[in-house]
């Protein structure tokens, strides 16, 4: 077993989990600051409509991220178990196949979106006031940012599969700091508007990708990235896609729900829909910022569980399940308490516009009411991806958004008006949490039997 990864099967679970999750969480939150800083700069320096223009195309960005995560996450799930089973050369082949898949999808998706930008903006219900900002922001992202996102998912998740938390943090922190600096330069010095925000994102993403490649090519990892060095293995490609589908479903569902919410907002008569789109955009950025530590927990949880499952250390997988439930609930409760008790103080960081502040605060209450449960659902459901149980993982990833949130969004506004949109959040959080706990308790029984055997 390589010294690069053997600690995943030997170190005490609590210390291992905190040692991996904490630096990734710090890196992701610092990296996530660029979303927050973007919102502050755009809202204060360019205007509320500029914020609305950026927010209304956010579902497209989420969809790209979802497809890229499918590749990287599916690869990482397989590679972690292969490392636990001491199959290093097979793991290298899996990485190569994931790279080819990412390259092919990057070409197809980039061209497809670029050739249909206007159609997409019309489909999202972009108003005449928001259109110039949305178009100026989206075009550079499609041509430059989206391909980088696809290709950087491979080195990023290679580091993740090996538990290289500090290297992941270095890439995320340096990228975020660069993005914030470039935001200020492009907006305040060069007066490039929302287009400058897009180019700041592109340059920082390219820098992060280059840094991660430097770590891999410089011998900081046990596994290597060798494009087209192995024979094509179609069953492995199928497994990458199947195990990545739960993440795709989850993230794509967020994209669909945000897009559907924005569209629903534009359909209400007698309501300033552009104002509510901007308000929901601010809530979305706050939500993503607070979700980042949960993603770090998920990465650590899935990596440790998958490695030890591959190594047949079932007692350590059971300990990881208990720790995942407790830690995700505690973090979610802390965030929920803060947002319910002091929403206006936090939202006031972005804007002093009284109408925007009031609209955003009213949305925040319902959005964060069930956050502890949704946070726990996201972390714990990744167990089934770690164990290679694609069918269970796909169902649990689909549950909250597709089976509850979207139907509720289609039904509740007709009964309660615009408030019905926000009531859907806590309802979905409660139902999804109950179901995932049932599945996890049943899986614990299976693991107990394997451990006794």
pLDDT value for 2 = 47
Question: Structure pTM?
Answer: 0.64
pLDDT value for 337 = 92
Cα–Cα distance for residue pair 193/298, rounded to 1 Å: 35
Residue 30's nearest CA partner among 340, 296, 281, 327 is 296
pLDDT value for 205 = 86
pLDDT value for 3 = 46
pLDDT value for 322 = 87
pLDDT value for 17 = 83
pLDDT value for 22 = 80
Q: What is the pLDDT along the chain (453 residues), one digit of tens a residue?
A: 444 556 666 788 888 888 877 877 776 676 666 667 767 777 777 777 787 777 777 778 777 877 887 887 788 878 877 877 777 788 888 888 888 888 888 889 889 888 888 888 888 777 788 788 888 888 888 888 888 888 887 887 777 777 676 777 777 778 888 888 888 898 888 888 888 888 988 898 889 888 888 888 877 777 777 778 788 888 888 888 887 777 777 667 666 777 777 778 777 777 777 788 778 877 877 887 788 788 788 888 888 888 888 778 888 888 888 888 898 899 999 999 988 888 878 877 777 778 888 888 888 888 889 889 988 888 888 888 778 777 888 788 788 888 888 898 889 988 888 888 889 889 989 999 999 899 988 888 888 887 776
Cα–Cα distance for residue pair 212/99, rounded to 1 Å: 14
Instruction: Please work out, in degrees rounded to the nearest 5, the angle formed at the alpha carbon of residue 28 by the alpha carbons of 23 and 74.
Output: 95
């Amino acid at each position: 077993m390589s010294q690069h990864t053997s600690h995943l099967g030997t170190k005490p679970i609590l210390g291992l989990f905190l040692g991996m999750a904490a630096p990734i969480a710090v890196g992701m939150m610092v990296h996530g600051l660029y979303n927050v800083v973007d919102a502050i700069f755009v809202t204060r320096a360019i205007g509320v409509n500029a914020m609305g223009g950026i927010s209304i195309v956010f579902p497209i960005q989420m969809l790209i991220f979802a497809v890229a995560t499918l590749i990287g996450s599916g690869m990482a799930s397989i590679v972690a178990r292969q490392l636990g089973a001491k199959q290093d050369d097979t793991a290298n082949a899996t990485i190569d196949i994931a790279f080819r898949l990412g390259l092919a999808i990057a070409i197809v998706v980039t061209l497809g979106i670029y050739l249909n930008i206007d159609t997409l903006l019309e489909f999202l219900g972009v108003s005449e006031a928001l259109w110039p900002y949305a178009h100026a922001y989206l075009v550079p992202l499609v041509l430059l940012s989206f391909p980088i996102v696809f290709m950087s998912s491979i080195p990023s998740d290679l580091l993740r599969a090996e538990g290289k938390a500090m290297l992941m943090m270095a890439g995320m922190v340096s990228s975020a700091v660069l993005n914030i600096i470039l935001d200020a330069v492009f907006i305040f010095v060069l007066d490039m508007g929302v287009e400058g925000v897009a180019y700041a994102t592109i340059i920082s993403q390219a820098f992060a990708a280059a840094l991660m490649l430097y770590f891999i090519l410089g011998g900081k990892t046990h596994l290597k990235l060798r494009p087209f060095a192995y024979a094509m293995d179609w069953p492995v490609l199928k497994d990458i896609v199947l195990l990545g589908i739960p993440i795709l479903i989850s993230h794509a569902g967020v994209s669909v729900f945000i897009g559907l919410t924005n569209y629903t907002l534009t359909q209400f008569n007698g309501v300033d829909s552009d104002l509510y789109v901007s308000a929901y955009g601010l809530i979305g950025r706050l939500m993503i910022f607070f979700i980042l530590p949960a993603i770090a927990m998920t990465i650590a949880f899935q990596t440790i569980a998958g490695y030890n499952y591959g190594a047949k250390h079932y007692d350590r997988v059971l300990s990881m399940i208990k720790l995942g439930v407790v830690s995700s609930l505690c973090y979610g409760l802390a965030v929920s308490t803060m947002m319910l008790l002091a929403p206006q103080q936090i939202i006031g960081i972005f804007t002093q516009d009284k109408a925007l502040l009031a609209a955003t605060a009213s949305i925040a209450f319902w959005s964060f009411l069930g956050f502890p449960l949704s946070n726990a659902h996201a972390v714990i459901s990744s167990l089934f991806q770690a164990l290679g149980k694609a069918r269970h993982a796909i169902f649990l990833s689909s549950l909250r958004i597709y089976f509850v949130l979207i139907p509720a969004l289609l039904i509740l506004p007709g009964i309660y008006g615009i408030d019905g949109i926000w009531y859907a959040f806590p309802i979905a959080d409660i139902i999804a949490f109950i179901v995932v706990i049932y599945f996890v308790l049943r899986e614990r029984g299976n693991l107990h039997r394997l451990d006794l055997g």
